[in-house]
Amino acid sequence: MAKASDLLVAALQAEGVKYVFGIPGEENLDLLESLRTSGIQLVLTRHEQAAGFMAATCGRLTGSAGVCLSTLGPGATNLVTAAAYAQLGAMPMLMITGQKPIRSSRQGHFQIIDMVDTLRPLTKYTRQLVSADSIPARVREAFRRAEEERPGATHLELPQDVAGDPTDAVPIAKSHSRRPVAEDKAIARAAEAIRDARHPLLMIGAGANRKTTARALRSFVDRLGIPFFSTQMGKGVLDETDPLWIGTAALSDHDYVHRAIDAADCIVNIGHDVIEKPPFFMREGRRTVIHVNYDGAAVDAVYFPQVEVVGDIANSVWRLAETVEPQAHWDFAFFDRVRAALCDQLQQRSADGRFPMASQRIVADLAQALGPDDITCLDNGLYKLWFARNHRCRRPNTLLLDNALATMGAGLPSAIAARIVHPDRKMVAVCGDGGFMMNSQELETAVRLGLDLVVLVLRDDAYGMIKWKQAHEDYPNFGMDLGNPDFVKYAQSYGARGHRPASADELLPLLREALAKPGIDLIDVPVDYGDDDWLLNEEIPRLSAAVE
């Protein structure tokens, strides 16, 4: 007879799991042994939070739940931020945590935290596995919930005594279900609204970032020629070098894209996820908004779409593309002028020679060094705004950023996971000196796994994003400056290579060289955010307002 932990591992295999990220404790020893003899790879990390970020990123890239593992108590509480990251970011992830024996224990409450309840607000499903025979159904349900729209985090707790229980139960096979599709009448109504508009505009949100939806959107845009913009997490679903692209809603307002939004009389809103800041505020009577999503619109003061197409997004987009014909009265002339002006502005500072470097130059240099399928993983800091706004993605999921929890510390772990999932693609993590140090220990994981990665650490010796906001609000500089290790030596101490350019012109050759070599290369790039406030709050609003 097998034991419960073998059954759990068999159930993971039935779900197609290839990796489990985490740090086991003594309560997981049965499970660890079951993993050892399975085909699943244990990716041992140096912090459970990083393991959670990695599992969530696996889920984000594949659509199948990534799995992470921890012991009870302190290991499990270290997963809390990663649970929030997956849950808010709609990334399918299953957390498996250990627990003391539940039938009898001689250790009092040592290390015991009620993780099932602790994780309740941060998960779609959280259960203790109370018997071996309950494992097949619990695991299947945990995967179903994690992967079903809207995806998110789930949690199973395996107590030490249950893990060793004998069982002859077998896993439940993965089911294949199709999502319901929108009603014909809803498609007809939306089609009519698009036809009747003079300046229709397409918005691509985080929920549109699914494989089949990207294909459907491509044919929608090719057939109808309607210009599009995206939110930060909708980036790359459509090629942003396309002549119909008119920007990313990266700033809250007063950017070029907002001029186009203001001029649109119909916005087809594909896959908007309320977790992202609203890319536009509705005003009564100004325009028709068509909500195309898996679920109905959660209405609030700024979002109350008049037309809803609820059902599988890819299917709705296909059917809309087939139902609507391009209309002679559609007028995209202003959108074209917005796009031309935006593309001009995106060149500003792209070859700037200042050192410490301008973020816009860093974004431009990285774009030159990477191919269209290569992936950039961002941590959170001021530079994220510039990458979201200025970087033009060619393919889905090639700029992995977190505009949901917007946590610091996920840049390096997400790049590690992305490289594991896509060993054929070049991978770059871009972190601030603050965010990098929150999970920099994972350099050891990357070196141990023999991964090829480039890590850019943008060094301003401060928590720059908050320092910028502090200055913008006229507070004196206080509490935001920090010291750093010597990042070159720091990288070397892990067995990675460390580099520090001495001028702006050295960055691009360094990047190319690092990307061409196997192993881990860290590049310490001094960054100058000195006039970002002026650029973001005066220059871009002034230039974008001038488009006629």
Ligand X SMILES: Cc1ncc(C[n+]2csc(CCOP(=O)(O)OP(=O)(O)O)c2C)c(N)n1
Asked whether position 216 contacts ligand X by CB under 6 A, the answer is no
Where b means 16+ CB within 10 Å and e means fewer, 355-386 reads bebbbbbbbbbbbebbeeebbbbbbbbbbbbb
Q: What CA–CA distance (Å, rounded) separates 64 from 210?
A: 12
**Least distance between ligand X and beta carbon 381 (Å):** 2
Place of tokens 């720059």: 464
> Which residue lies nearer to ligand X by CB, 67 or 412?
412
Q: Which residues contact 329 (CB under 8 A, 6 or more apart)?
A: 198
Asked whether position 462 contacts ligand X by CB under 6 A, the answer is yes
Q: Please answer whether residues 426 and 453 qualify as being in contact, where contact means their C-beta atoms are separated by less than 8 angstroms.
A: no
Q: What CA–CA distance (Å, rounded) separates 275 from 485?
A: 35
Map residues 23-42 to x or -, x wherever contact with ligand X holds by CB under 6 A.
--------------------
Rounded to 5°, the CA angle 61-63-64 comes to 110
**125: closest CA among 163, 165, 96?**
96
Asked whether position 465 contacts ligand X by CB under 6 A, the answer is yes
C-alpha pair distances (Å), 188 with each of 107, 111, 179, 295: 65, 58, 20, 18
Bridging pattern class, strands 200-204 and 266-270 = parallel
Q: Pick out residues in 346-385 that bind ligand X (CB under 6 A).
A: 379-383
> Which residue lies nearer to ligand X by CB, 308 or 402?
402
Q: What CA–CA distance (Å, rounded) separates 188 from 55?
A: 40
**Least distance between ligand X and beta carbon 527 (Å):** 7
Q: What is the DSSP letter of 415?
A: H
> Which residue lies nearer to ligand X by CB, 78 or 269?
78
Q: What CA–CA distance (Å, rounded) separates 81 from 85?
A: 6
Measured at CB, which residue is nearest to ligand X?
A: 432
Token pair, residue 245, equals 């692209």
> Which residue lies nearer to ligand X by CB, 272 or 384?
384
Q: What CA–CA distance (Å, rounded) separates 323 from 325?
A: 7
> Which residue lies nearer to ligand X by CB, 167 or 407?
407
> Which residue lies nearer to ligand X by CB, 80 or 343?
80
- Total of chain residues touching ligand X, rule CB under 6 A: 20
**Least distance between ligand X and beta carbon 467 (Å):** 7
Distance of CA 33 to the CA centre of its chain: 32
**Least distance between ligand X and beta carbon 513 (Å):** 24
> Which residue lies nearer to ligand X by CB, 343 or 466?
466
> Which residue lies nearer to ligand X by CB, 212 or 252?
252
Considering only 46-54, 104-112, 348-356, 457-465, which stretch makes contact with ligand X by CB under 6 A? 457-465
Q: Which of 102, 274, 466, 543 binds ligand X (CB under 6 A)?
A: 466
> Which residue lies nearer to ligand X by CB, 151 or 464?
464
**Least distance between ligand X and beta carbon 434 (Å):** 3
Sheet holding 453-459, edge to edge: 399-400, 375-378, 427-432, 453-459, 520-526, 497-499
Collapse the DSSP code of 377 into the 3-class scheme (helix H, G, I; strand E, B; otherwise coil) and give the result.
strand
Map residues 418-447 to x or -, x wherever contact with ligand X holds by CB under 6 A.
--------------xxxx------------
**Least distance between ligand X and beta carbon 384 (Å):** 8
**Least distance between ligand X and beta carbon 533 (Å):** 13
Asked whether position 406 contacts ligand X by CB under 6 A, the answer is yes
C-alpha pair distances (Å), 223 with each of 75, 260, 318, 323, 325: 52, 21, 11, 11, 8
> Which residue lies nearer to ligand X by CB, 245 or 529?
529
Asked whether position 408 contacts ligand X by CB under 6 A, the answer is yes
**Least distance between ligand X and beta carbon 436 (Å):** 7
Q: Which of 35, 458, 504, 535 binds ligand X (CB under 6 A)?
A: 458
**Least distance between ligand X and beta carbon 133 (Å):** 40
> Which residue lies nearer to ligand X by CB, 309 or 431?
431
**Least distance between ligand X and beta carbon 283 (Å):** 30
Considering only 293-301, 328-336, 445-453, 460-468, which stretch makes contact with ligand X by CB under 6 A? 460-468
Q: Which of 460, 521, 524, 532 binds ligand X (CB under 6 A)?
A: 460
Asked whether position 464 contacts ligand X by CB under 6 A, the answer is yes
Beta strand ranges found along 486-545 (DSSP E) = 497-499, 520-526
**Least distance between ligand X and beta carbon 310 (Å):** 33
Where b means 16+ CB within 10 Å and e means fewer, 449-465 reads eebbbbbbbbbbebbbb
Q: What is the DSSP letter of 6?
A: H
Asked whether position 256 contacts ligand X by CB under 6 A, the answer is no
**Least distance between ligand X and beta carbon 459 (Å):** 8
- Give the binding site for ligand X (CB under 6 A): 379-383, 406-409, 432-435, 458, 460, 462-466
